[in-house]
Amino acid sequence: MNKSNRKATTTQSRQIVVIGAGNVATHFAHAFSANGDKIVQIYSRTIGAAQCLAEQFGVGYTNNLARLKTDADIYIFAIADDALFDVALDLKLKDKICFHTSGTVAMDVLAPITKNYGVVYVPQTFVKHIAMDYSRLPFCIEATNTTTLEVLQNMAADISSKVYTLDGEQRRYLHLASVFANNFGNCINAIAQQIMEQHHLPFEIIHPLIDETAKKIQYGNLWNLQTGPAKRGDNGTLDKHRRLLTDNPKYLEAYNILTQIIEDNTRK
């Protein structure tokens, strides 16, 4: 994995077609548009979604691949992983530069479409209506050839200084780690919120605790910063917690698994 320190080099606007109209497509379109590139068309299998995103840029839209513009510079495929395979069978763009945004799908899924393809993966949680500072995001790039790689690196560098070159295997492990950090982390916080609400406790009481936990990432090895009853071997407290969870076997199972993982990694 290499981190690029290249600076933005764009001298003219690139014309971009966005295939997809969901959370990732919306944010990618706004990120590149805000830095000088021109969104020229939106495609989505759902015509209403395509129209909604297209209207934000004043451009055309379609749900028919046969009507996709073929004279753009860049084609962004921000669609569901399974849909990538279907679209690749129906679309031919010769030598146009295309990239997808998936954390797990191999970049050569786009090989039937063009000879110039790659991946721009951003490990972040995207929601359409929540604004984001794109300059703080890491852009992880993979490409089939040097020319395509340079174009994608320059596009990313126009937005952020955090541009990394990864291979496919590294990207898949990055996605796995991101699921643990974000999706599972949010799931754990949602369980905490549910426990609080079920027992008539305002969730805001532990907001500072959650914030402080997130801040720990800047202080080094997180296992060394672990606290709590599992870390200190407080079996009395662990058993009390388990009794409180007897009515919810799945949460109890999760509690026991996480307790064991903490013990295995901190009590050596």
- Count the neighbouring beta carbons within 10 Å of the beta carbon of residue 23: 15
Same domain, 37 and 148: yes
Same domain, 47 and 102: yes
If we measure between CA atoms, which residue out of 112, 114, 23, 27 comes closest to residue 73? 114
pLDDT in tens, 203-248: 999 999 999 999 998 899 999 999 999 999 999 999 999 999 999 9
Q: What is the CATH number of the domain that holds 60?
A: 3.40.50.720
Predicted local confidence at residue 7, as pLDDT:
53
- Domain boundary (166, 195, 217) is at 166
Same domain, 34 and 94: yes
Q: What is the CATH number of the domain that holds 261?
A: 1.10.1040.20
Same domain, 52 and 96: yes
Same domain, 32 and 155: yes
Same domain, 194 and 83: no
Lookup: tokens for 162: 């955090």
Same domain, 45 and 97: yes
Place of tokens 């605790």: 209
Contact 254, 245 (CB under 8 A): no
Angle between helix axes 235-244 and 249-266 (nearest 10 degrees) is 160
Residue 31 CA, distance from chain mean position: 14
pLDDT in tens, 145-184: 999 999 999 999 999 999 999 999 999 999 999 999 999 9
- CA–CA separation, 121 and 111 (whole Å): 18
Residue range of the domain that includes 113? 2-166
Q: How confident is the model at residue 5 (pLDDT cuts 50, 70, 90)?
A: low
If we measure between CA atoms, which residue out of 28, 69, 73, 21 comes closest to residue 45? 21
Same domain, 88 and 146: yes
- pTM for the model: 0.87
- CA–CA separation, 187 and 208 (whole Å): 18
Higher pLDDT pick, 100 / 129: 100
Domain count, the chain: 2
Same domain, 150 and 181: no
pLDDT in tens, 136-150: 999 999 999 999 999
Same domain, 90 and 11: yes
Contact 148, 119 (CB under 8 A): no
- CA–CA separation, 106 and 108 (whole Å): 5
pLDDT greater than 70 at residue 26: yes
Task: For 177-235, give the DSSP string.
Answer: HHIIIIIIHHHHHHHHHHHHHHTT--GGGGHHHHHHHHHGGGGS-TGGG--SHHHHT-H
Same domain, 51 and 139: yes
**What average pLDDT does the structure give for the chain?**
93
Which residues contact residue 2 at a Cβ distance below 8 angstroms, ignoring those fewer than 6 apart? 164, 165
- Domain boundary (148, 166, 184) is at 166
- Domain boundary (166, 194, 221) is at 166
Same domain, 98 and 222: no
